[in-house]
Structure 1
Amino acid sequence: MKPFEHLIDLAAERVGGLVLACSDDFFAEKENLIKPGRGVFIEGKYTDRGKWMDGWESRRKREPGHDWCTLKLGLRGVIHGVDIDTNHFLGNHPPHASLEAACVETEPSAEDWAEILPKSPLEPGSHNPYAIDSEAEWTHLKLHIYPDGGVARLKVYGEVKPDWTALADDQIIDLVAVENGGRVLCCNDMFFGAKDNLIMPGRGINMGDGWETKRRRGPGHDWAILQLGHPGVIEQIEVDTHHFKGNYPDRCALESIHAPGASDVALTDMAWRPLLSASQLTAHQQHYFDQTLLHHDPISHVRFNIYPDGGVSRLRLNGRIHRGTKP
C-alpha cells in the first residue's frame, strides 16, 4: 500500500463526487470512473457500440489531440495521491495520463486549472499510483489521457478540508463524519467490512456497507480509533447496526482523549477517558445515547469498543466544535 492509500477517496461517488463532462465516452460511460471497487470484466457481454467495459473508454482517435474528463470532488481537500486504475483495460489502455486541478465555487474556466500530475506512463490492467506534491486545496479535477483508451477507476486520496468559519458556535454536526474531516485511523480487525464505512454519508445500503470483524474465538474485544474533523464537545452518540441482524455486537463503549495534533502512534500510550460506558445494542437498529454520556469536555479522538465482535453500520458523534483548538 502506498502511504496515501489509507486516506479518503475525495472523488468517490459515495461521498458526492460527480463526473461532469468528457471529450468522448463512446464505448464506456464516464460516470464509471468514480464507482466503488476496481471494475469487473464480463466475458461475452456486448452493447450496440461494442464490448461492454466497466470504466470510461473513448473511441479510437483518428485525428490529432487527446481525450479528457472533468470531475467535481465530492469533498474539498488536499490531494496526496491518485490511482489511475486500468483494471481489465489491456489492449485498449492509454499509454499516458496527466491531471489538472482547480479550486472554484462554480464551473472551472480555462485559467483556473493547474497541473498537479505531469504526463506520466500508465501500465495496462494495473493500479497506477502517483503521489501528489501539493498542499493546495482543490474542488475539481481534469483527467487527460493520451491519446485515447480506457480507464477503469480514478481514486483521489486526500484530506478533507471543511470551512469551519462558516459554522455557528452552537451548531450541532457529526464531528466524525467524513464530510466534516473525520477519519478512522485504525482498528484491530476489519475482516468482513472496512473501517471507513463507519463515517460515510447516509445509512448503510447493505451488510457490506459497514465495519464488521471476524468471529472472535478467544478473550478480548474489537475496537477502532477515530479522529474528529475538529475537536469538539459531544452531545449525542448514535450507533447504527442497520442490516446487522445475526452479527451485531452485544455491547459498545467509547473512550475519549483531547490530544489535537498528536501522532497516530502516540495515541496508543495516552490516558483514555470513558465517554460512554458499556451499553446494550440490538439488531438492525439506530441507538442514541445522550443522557448516559460521562462528560461534556472537549475531545479530539475516540476509541470505539465493541463487545465481543460483530458489525456496525455507522457511528455518529453529534456535537459542537470547540473554537479554542485547531483541527
Structure 2
Amino acid sequence: MSTPSAPFTELVNLASRLLGAGVVGTNEDTFADAENLLVAKPAEFRAHTFGHKGQIMDGWESRRRRGACAEQPHPTDEDHDWAIVRLGAAGVIRGVVVDTAHFTGNYPETGSVQGASIPGHPSPAEVEAAEWTDLVPRTALRGNTAHEFAVDNETRFTHVRLNIWPDGGVARLRVHGEVRPDPRELDGLSFDLAAQEYGGVAEAASDRYFSSPHNLNAPGRATVMGEGWETRRRRDKANDWVQIALAGGGEVLAAEVDTTHFVANAPGWADLVGYDAGAGGDPSADPDGWFELLPRTRLQPDTRHRFRLNADRPATHVRINVYPDGGLARLRLTGRLTEAGRAALALRWFNALPAAEADAALAEAGLTAAEATALTAARPLADAAATTAAVAALQPTDGPDGEHTSRRRAAIWRLLGI
C-alpha cells in the first residue's frame, strides 16, 4: 500500500523549471548533473546503461569522497556536497521533497535543506555568500525514497540549498509553497491573474481523475494532453469545475479557455463565474455570492478560445464550469489588480520579507531608517487598520508631528497601497 502524500505537495512547486527555476551552483556533480534535480517527470532507471563515468543515473550524483591522506582515508563528519537552486517564483515554503529514487548503494547518509532571500539578480558568488536559514535540519536519508519534510517558516525565500553528507545521489528536489510576488513589479500592468507565477492557485476541483487541476494555470503551453486537466466521464447530469484563487482581487477583463490536444474529450460548453471575498466572504460556503463573468458558451476541440468578459465587479476567485465533463489545457484570466487587491497582495508580501529587505523597502518608499525598523518589528500586520495603527504609533523624529504623519502615510501608500 502506498503512503499518502503530505498536504503541502498539492501546492505549487516553486522549484519548477516551468516557473524558471534553475541550479545556480554546486560543488560537485561529476557522476550526474545537478540540473536533473529539477526535471519535471519522475526519475527513471535503466539497468546496465553505462557512460564514460559509469552507470547513468537520472538525478544529481557526486563523486565518492576521500580523506586527506593514507592515514586518514575517510572524509570528516563535516565534509559534504551541495547544490543551490534559484526558485522559479519567490514564496513561502511549506514543504520539500528530497527524492532518492533508484539510488540504493549510493544515496547520502544525511541531508538538509536551507533557504535564502536574495533580491535582484545575484551572481553565483553572491548566492553562495548569502545568509542561509535552516528549513530542514540535517536528518537521516534512505535509499530509493521520496522524503517529505514539512517546513514551518513564514519567510519569503528566493533560493534553496540542498546539502548531502558525505556524498552520493539525489534524484529530484521539489519545493512546495505559496508564491509571494513583489507588488511593485505588477503596478500599472495587466497580467494573468490566475497564473501560478503570480500566486494564482487552483484550490478546488470537482474531479482530478486523469490529471491535476494545477495544470490549468501552469506556465507555458501544454505540449500533450497529459499536461492539462482532464476528468473522468460523467454518468450523471451534473458538471465538472475548477475553482481558482486569483493572485489578488482584480478586474478580470479577458479569458482564454484552451482545449488544445483535447480532441475527442473536450467539454461541449463552459462558463465562468467570479466571487469577491474582499469583504471576508467564503466562496466555498456562499453559493449565492457567485456572479457571471462569461455565460455558458460552446467550445470547440483542440482550440484556444478568447473571450472579453464583463468586468463590472472585482473578483478574488474564479470558477470555470465545463459541461458535462472533459479536459482543458489551460485557463488564462487577463486583468488588473484593484486597489484593495493590490493592498492585500502587498501586505502578504511585506509580512513575509526578511527584516533587512522589509527595512530597505520601507526606506526606499520614504520612511527613515528608525521608522522602517520599528514598523518591520510590528509585523505581522493583519490588515489596513493594523498597518495604520502601527504607523501612528511611530515616534516623531523631527519637525511637526503632522508632517511626520503625512510623510509616513505617503510612504506606506507607495509601498503597500494602504
TM-score computed with the length of structure 1 as normaliser: 0.94
Is it true that 1:217 corresponds to 2:217 in the alignment?
A: no
Aligned in 2, Cα 1:117/1:153: closer, same or farther, shift over 3 Å? same
Residues 38, 85 of structure 1: 8 Å contact kept? no
Q: 1:218 Cα deviation (Å)?
A: 2.2
| Unaligned runs of at least 5 residues, structure 1 | none
Q: 1:187 Cα deviation (Å)?
A: 0.8
| Among candidates 331, 334, 339, match of residue 323 of structure 1 | 339
Number of the residue aligned with 2:24: 20
| Among candidates 153, 158, 168, match of residue 187 of structure 2 | 168
Aligned in 2, Cα 1:144/1:281: closer, same or farther, shift over 3 Å? same
Q: 1:295 Cα deviation (Å)?
A: 4.2
Number of the residue aligned with 1:312: 328
Number of the residue aligned with 2:153: 134
Number of the residue aligned with 1:284: 302
Higher share in helix:
2
Provide Cα deviations, 1:132-186, integer angstroms capped at 9, x if missing partner. 11111111111100001110100001100111123233x2100010011000001
- Measure the CA separation in 2 of the matches of 1:138 and 1:26: 28
Residues 183, 228 of structure 1: 8 Å contact kept? yes
Residues 253, 311 of structure 2: 8 Å contact kept? no
Residues 235, 296 of structure 1: 8 Å contact kept? no
- Measure the CA separation in 1 of the matches of 2:117 and 2:164: 21
Corresponding residue SS for 1:128: strand
One-letter amino acid of the structure 2 residue matched with residue 240 of structure 1: D
One-letter amino acid of the structure 2 residue matched with residue 84 of structure 1: V
| Among candidates 97, 105, 117, match of residue 91 of structure 1 | 105
Residues 261, 329 of structure 2: 8 Å contact kept? yes
Which piece of structure 1 moves more, 227-236 or 116-125?
A: 116-125
Aligned in 2, Cα 1:87/1:206: closer, same or farther, shift over 3 Å? same
Number of the residue aligned with 1:145: 164
Aligned in 2, Cα 1:294/1:111: closer, same or farther, shift over 3 Å? closer
- Measure the CA separation in 2 of the matches of 1:311 and 1:253: 14
Residues 253, 276 of structure 1: 8 Å contact kept? yes
Structure 1 segment 291-302 matched on structure 2, within 5 A? 293-302=309-318
- Measure the CA separation in 1 of the matches of 2:185 and 2:42: 36
Corresponding residue SS for 2:225: coil
Aligned in 2, Cα 1:5/1:99: closer, same or farther, shift over 3 Å? same
Number of the residue aligned with 1:121: 140
Structure 1 segment 38-117 matched on structure 2, within 5 A? 38-63=42-67, 64=75, 65-104=79-118, 105=120, 106-107=122-123, 108-117=127-136
Residues 103, 140 of structure 1: 8 Å contact kept? yes
Residues 90, 179 of structure 2: 8 Å contact kept? yes
Aligned in 2, Cα 1:182/1:296: closer, same or farther, shift over 3 Å? same
| Unaligned runs of at least 5 residues, structure 2 | 68-74, 346-418
Q: 1:74 Cα deviation (Å)?
A: 0.5
Residues 253, 310 of structure 2: 8 Å contact kept? no
- Measure the CA separation in 2 of the matches of 1:234 and 1:34: 33
Corresponding residue SS for 2:216: helix
One-letter amino acid of the structure 1 residue matched with residue 129 of structure 2: A
Residues 26, 58 of structure 1: 8 Å contact kept? yes
Number of the residue aligned with 2:213: 195
TM-score computed with the length of structure 2 as normaliser: 0.74
Runs of 4+ in 1 over 6 A off after TM superposition: none
Which piece of structure 1 moves more, 294-303 or 152-161?
A: 294-303
Aligned residues with identical type, % of pairs: 41
What is the RMSD computed on CA atoms of the aligned residues?
1.6
Q: 1:109 Cα deviation (Å)?
A: 4.2
- Measure the CA separation in 2 of the matches of 1:262 and 1:184: 19
One-letter amino acid of the structure 1 residue matched with residue 258 of structure 2: D
Number of the residue aligned with 2:277: 259
Q: 1:222 Cα deviation (Å)?
A: 0.7
Q: 1:216 Cα deviation (Å)?
A: 1.7
Provide Cα deviations, 1:29-75, integer angstroms capped at 9, x if missing partner. 11110111330111222211111111111111113311111111001
Q: 1:116 Cα deviation (Å)?
A: 2.1
